Structures are given as structure tokens and as C-alpha cells.
Chains A and B, each alone.
Chain A
Amino acid sequence: MTRGGLSRAGVLAVVLAVLPLALPQHWVVSMLVFTVMYAALASSWNLIGGFAGYPSLGHAAFFGFGAYTVALIFPNTHNLSNGLLPFAILPGIAVVAGLIGLPIGAIAMRTRADVFAIVTITLLFVAQTLALNLRSLTGGAQGAGVAVPPFDVANFERPFYYAMAVLLLVAMGAGWYSQRSKIGLSLAAVRADEDKARGIGVHVTGVKLLAFSVSVGITAMIGGVWAYYVDFVYPQFAFDPLITIGMVLMAFLGGRGTLWGPVIGAVVLVPAQQYLAYELGGSQLYLIAYALVFLLIMRFLPRGILPTLTHLRRRRRLIAAADPAPRTAAAELGLAHDGQGGARV
């Protein structure tokens, strides 16, 4: 299994590396940048929203934090001698964002998911308001320009694409690592029955904060790369609820709590989204399309693509199994699913 995982990771890395070389048109690479960006965002959201079952609606606050940090450290008056410099500060941004995330996570995750969602979404709007009102620092509604990247025009998108690709691998690496260590085991226990997990000595608070911190840290780095790429940040775009809903939506579509689900979700949705934006023009229609897709997924595919497939496969295998013990278990599936399962008291 580990070998299979490694080879899949290798294939992903190679595909990511080769894609922009194989499809060098500007509009394609630009779309690839956004696809990989959302895959990375959804994967990092998945660390807390999927594995731990705490659906954050405030990740865009950290995305915006990263974006504004890059914009403030490298303003457009700045003359970049080395275009890679803004990428070099990303780990620092991640650490700061992760540290900011600790107290916020500690307050928000004291109780269950609904309060967590309330606090995180409020955080998003507070961050947006701060960006609008701290004019001397952020430039308010006028936005803030970022230093112009001194990259070759012919392959302008490539550095951003590769930066996003590395961040995607980081986010997936974090997910993969957590799943094969006891972090993932603890998070799954937290998601299923937090009180019980606490009662059997699982380090619930520690593991939740760890996941939240890493998750928002990676999100902030992605925001940093995004700001450098789009070259200008405005409060309403850096702290956009649509970014939050985008990452949540993609994780849901592919399957939250799985390693590959968020990537699949992004690969399906981002090109569709870009196409819609291109065809329909105004962002309003795509707002509607987005919301409708989300509602349809929740209505008809609430588990997401991957878990639905896994579930079907598992069921079939259980029923087909010749071994009598699993067959009894399969026969009892009906009983196990009739509402007694996972009693949360």
C-alpha cells in the first residue's frame, strides 16, 4: 500500500512537472495555476475540515493574510532584483499564520462544529473589514500593488505554477503523513466521537490545534503566491467568501477526509468554473452556478466521489466474500446501519 502510495505520488509529481511544458499556451497554464491552487487550498482545508470534521469557513482569512503579507513586504514600488525572493518568505508566512491560528483555533474548537463554523466565518469578515479600514497599512479599498515579477514574458506563469505545485505536494504530503501516523487515527476518532476520544486519553486538543495550524499555514502560503501572481490585492478578493466556499466545495465533491478527493474536486470544478466565467462573463452568474453545484452535491452526493466509490466497493466485497465471518458481518450491515451506529451521546 505504501509502495502504491509512493508511486501515485511520483506520477502526480511528474504530471505536475510536465503539464505546463506539454501545454505551453498562456491561457492553459493560467488555468493550470488556478486548478493547482484550488487543489492545494482544498487539500489544506481537508486537514481540518475533512480529517478532523471541523468545517472551517474562515480559511480565506488566512489566504488573505498571506496575500497581504506579500503585498506589504514587496510593494509595487519595490524593484525586485531576484524574482524568487517573494517565494522565499513563504515558510515565514506559514509559521506566523500557524501561530495566529493557535489561539483562534483554541477558542473556536472548544465546542463542536457549528460554533466553529460561526467563529471562523466571522473571522473572515473581520479580516476583510480590517483590510478595508487599516488604510495606512493596506491601502483600504484602493488595494495594494505587489512588486512586478521580473520573469520572462514567454513563460511568465511557470514560476507561479511550480510554486503552487510545490504547495499542493506539501498539503498532500501533510495529509498523507497524518493519515499514516497516529495523528490521522486521532483525528478520525475526534471526528467520530470527540468526547469518547478524550475519554480514552487521545490528545484531542493538541491534535486539533496541530491540524488547524498546519492547515491555515499552508493556506496562507498559497495566498502569498496568489498575490504575487495577480500582482494586486483588494480586500474583497483577498478575503473572498468565494475562496472559502471554493475550497470547501472541491473537498466535498471529491470526498472530504480522503487524500485525493480534494484534488479530484479541483480538477473537475476549476476548469468548469473558468469556462463558466469565460462564457457567462459576469461573476454573478458564476456565483449562482457555484451555489447550485454545491447544493446539488449536498443533495445527491453528500459523501463525495471517492468515498461513494469506496463504500460501493467495500459493500460488494463484503457481500461477495466466501469467508463466513465477514458474511455475517455483511448480513448484519442492515442492523448496523439502522441508526444505532456511532451513537453520539
Chain B
Amino acid sequence: MSVLLEVEDLTKRFGGVTAVDGCSFTVDEGTVTALIGPNGSGKTTVFNLVTGCLPADSGAVRFSGREVTGMSPGRLYQRGLSRTFQQARVFPELTVLENLVVAGGWSFAGLFRQRVSRADRVRAAELLDEFRLDRVGDLLAAELSWGQRKLLEFAALLMSDPRLVLLDEPTAGVNPILIETMEAHIRARHAAGTTFLVVEHDMQFVMRLCDPVIVFDRGCPIASGTPEHVQSDPRVLDAYLGE
């Protein structure tokens, strides 16, 4: 298995608080890697650093062997590294179909092409089917339920054929049935070759789905390995239960 994402000695401070502290880890190609840890342990900040949403104070990020530190989120997206947000960010005034098309990634010249071309429609239709959004394709995203928006956000970024998808709490705030749906979609995509890095608080979800699991505390990884392995690691229990 080759390394797809390599994070080396990444550090980020906010004023006096060090949110991410000399953090290093790797994500192997073809895995569903989990990033877990107590609240405030720096998981989301790591996401923001890796995807270029925040500038790192020091350290390096390599994606499929190339240095991408400080690269803008848009560029990374075009290279196949994309993310979702804790609070799903879709474009409420665009239709579901348009939300997919706008995420399709086109060149500047592509701006002058048709808003939703036949090719766009064909490409989006597969994803709409896959995510069972085909019946609501012409609704505005604002008219979707909260859970449907999370599905839409996930489906939309697949338009770019990403190699690595970072999911920030994919199950937060959605009902149990939708959690299962979400899990099924991640599994299907994983089987099709996409690598995932998941921040999640739902431990059952993580233990069912992810391998390996990286445990964060105070801004850096303290343990990693199979779900069984980290579950029995005393440092992990410490981090979660306090000293």
C-alpha cells in the first residue's frame, strides 16, 4: 500500500493556544482512516490545514508524493483532495442538480459553456441515482432536509473524482437511518477505490467502518492502529477519560 497523504510536523497556533502541535501521520491509499479524539484535540484544525483552508505555521503536507503545503483549497480539489464540512455547505439557491454541476471543476474557458450541458446531466445523473437524490434533482438545495444536504455535499464533491475525501463528522446531526445510508455510500465509494479520512464522534460508526484509527489528543496523534488495537491502548483511555 502506498502513502497517499503524508502530514509532517504540522503546527498551528491561535494566539497563545497551540491547536496543532508537531503533528505527523500518514493516510495509506485505499483505506478509510479515522481521526478521533476528545473535543478540542485539533482534528478539525488538522482538516483545515491539510485542505488549505488555514495556513500552517510550520510543517509540510504531501499528497500523492508531491508537496502541497499552503496550496489553495481550490487547487487541492482539482488535484483530487476534497472535503466536507461539519455543517454541510451546499448552495441553497441552486438546484440539487446544479449543486453537482458547479462542483464539476472546469477551466476558465469552461465558464462560457452551457450552464447545465447534456454531458453534465449524464455525469450528475449517475451520482443522483447512487445517492437517491434523482427525485429531488430539480428542487433547490434550500428545500432539502438537513440530512439530505449532507448527502448532497458528499455527492457533489464526487463530481471531481477525488482520490482522497476528508469527511468532517459525516453523521453529526442526522437520523439513525441516514447514518446507515451514509455508511453504505462510503463503503461503496471505498470499494470503488476512493480513500477516506474521517473525523467522527460516533465510535460505533468508526469501529464498524474505519481501519486504521488515529487518536488525537492536544494537537497531535497519540496512538494509531486497528480499531481493536487503539481501543485497548491505555493512552487512549486516558485521553478520553482524563487523567
Most buried by A among B73, B88, B135, B143: B143
Q: Which of B31-39, B89-97, B205-213 contacts A (4 or more CB under 8 A)?
A: B89-97
Interface residues of A in 132-188 (CB under 8 A from B): 179-186, 188
B61 to A: closest C-beta gap in Å: 16
Contact present for A199 and B101 (CB under 8 Å): no
Q: Which of B15-23, B102-110, B188-196 contacts A (4 or more CB under 8 A)?
A: B102-110
B240 to A: closest C-beta gap in Å: 27
Contact present for B92 and A196 (CB under 8 Å): no
Contact present for B115 and A201 (CB under 8 Å): no
Contact present for A326 and B115 (CB under 8 Å): no
Chain A residues whose CB sits within 8 angstroms of the CB of B216 once the complex forms: none
Contact present for B91 and A189 (CB under 8 Å): yes
Contact present for B111 and A182 (CB under 8 Å): yes
Chain A residues whose CB sits within 8 angstroms of the CB of B105 once the complex forms: 200-201
A337 to B: closest C-beta gap in Å: 8
Contact present for B113 and A198 (CB under 8 Å): no
The answer to whether A200 and B144 touch (CB under 8 A), given A182-B114, A329-B139, is no
Q: Which of A14-22, A202-210, A213-221, A265-273 contacts B (4 or more CB under 8 A)?
A: A202-210
How far apart sit A343 and B93, CA to CA, in the bound complex (Å)? Answer: 12
- Chain B CB within 8 A of A193 CB: yes
Chain A residues whose CB sits within 8 angstroms of the CB of B63 once the complex forms: none
Interface string of A330-345 (1 = CB under 8 A from B): 1011011100111111
How far apart sit A132 and B53, CA to CA, in the bound complex (Å)? Answer: 46
- Chain B CB within 8 A of A192 CB: yes
Chain A residues whose CB sits within 8 angstroms of the CB of B139 once the complex forms: 318, 326, 329
How many residue pairs, one in A and one in B, have C-beta atoms under 8 Å apart? 128
- Chain B CB within 8 A of A325 CB: yes
How far apart sit A182 and B23, CA to CA, in the bound complex (Å)? Answer: 40
Most buried by B among A181, A200, A341: A200
Contact present for A185 and B94 (CB under 8 Å): yes
Contact present for A200 and B115 (CB under 8 Å): no
- Chain A CB within 8 A of B157 CB: yes
Instruction: Tell me the interface secondary structure of chain A in the complex.
Output: helix
Chain A residues whose CB sits within 8 angstroms of the CB of B53 once the complex forms: 195, 199
Contact present for B160 and A201 (CB under 8 Å): yes
A319 to B: closest C-beta gap in Å: 11
Contact present for A193 and B91 (CB under 8 Å): yes
The answer to whether A201 and B77 touch (CB under 8 A), given A180-B114, A188-B94, is yes
CB < 8 Å: which of A180, A337, A345 contacts B89? A345
Contact present for A184 and B115 (CB under 8 Å): yes
- Chain A CB within 8 A of B25 CB: no
- Chain A CB within 8 A of B184 CB: no
A201 to B: closest C-beta gap in Å: 4
- Chain A CB within 8 A of B72 CB: yes
- Chain A CB within 8 A of B82 CB: yes
Contact present for B93 and A181 (CB under 8 Å): no
The answer to whether A185 and B98 touch (CB under 8 A), given A179-B115, A180-B114, A203-B111, is yes
- Chain B CB within 8 A of A197 CB: yes
Chain A residues whose CB sits within 8 angstroms of the CB of B155 once the complex forms: none
Range of interface residues on B (Cβ < 8 Å) = 35 or more
B106 to chain A: closest residue by CB: A182
Interface string of B29-72 (1 = CB under 8 A from A): 00000000000000000000001010000000000000000001
Contact present for B143 and A330 (CB under 8 Å): yes
How far apart sit A189 and B78, CA to CA, in the bound complex (Å)? Answer: 17
Interface string of B96-136 (1 = CB under 8 A from A): 00100111011010111111100000000000000000011
Contact present for A335 and B156 (CB under 8 Å): no
B112 to A: closest C-beta gap in Å: 6
How far apart sit A329 and B89, CA to CA, in the bound complex (Å)? Answer: 18
Contact present for A343 and B102 (CB under 8 Å): no
Chain A residues whose CB sits within 8 angstroms of the CB of B148 once the complex forms: 329
How far apart sit A323 and B135, CA to CA, in the bound complex (Å)? Answer: 9
Contact present for A341 and B102 (CB under 8 Å): no
Contact present for B144 and A185 (CB under 8 Å): no
B92 to chain A: closest residue by CB: A342
CB < 8 Å: which of A183, A201, A204, A325 contacts B135? A325
The answer to whether A342 and B142 touch (CB under 8 A), given A193-B89, A200-B74, A200-B82, is yes
Contact present for B73 and A335 (CB under 8 Å): no
How far apart sit A201 and B114, CA to CA, in the bound complex (Å)? Answer: 18
Most buried by B among A185, A329, A341: A185
Measured CB to CB, the residues of B under 8 A from A are: 51, 53, 72-75, 77-78, 82-83, 85, 87-94, 98, 101-103, 105-106, 108, 110-116, 135-136, 139-140, 142-146, 148, 156-157, 160
15 contacts between A and B (CB under 8 A): A180-B115, A184-B115, A185-B94, A185-B102, A191-B93, A193-B89, A196-B91, A199-B51, A199-B74, A199-B82, A201-B75, A202-B102, A206-B111, A329-B143, A337-B142
Extra A-B contacts (18), CB below 8 Å, given A200-B82, A202-B74, A329-B145 = A179-B115, A182-B111, A185-B101, A188-B91, A188-B93, A188-B94, A189-B102, A197-B102, A199-B83, A200-B74, A200-B102, A323-B135, A325-B136, A329-B148, A332-B144, A341-B142, A343-B88, A345-B87
Report, nearest first, the 3 A-B pairs whose CB atoms are least far apart.
A199-B73, A325-B135, A342-B92
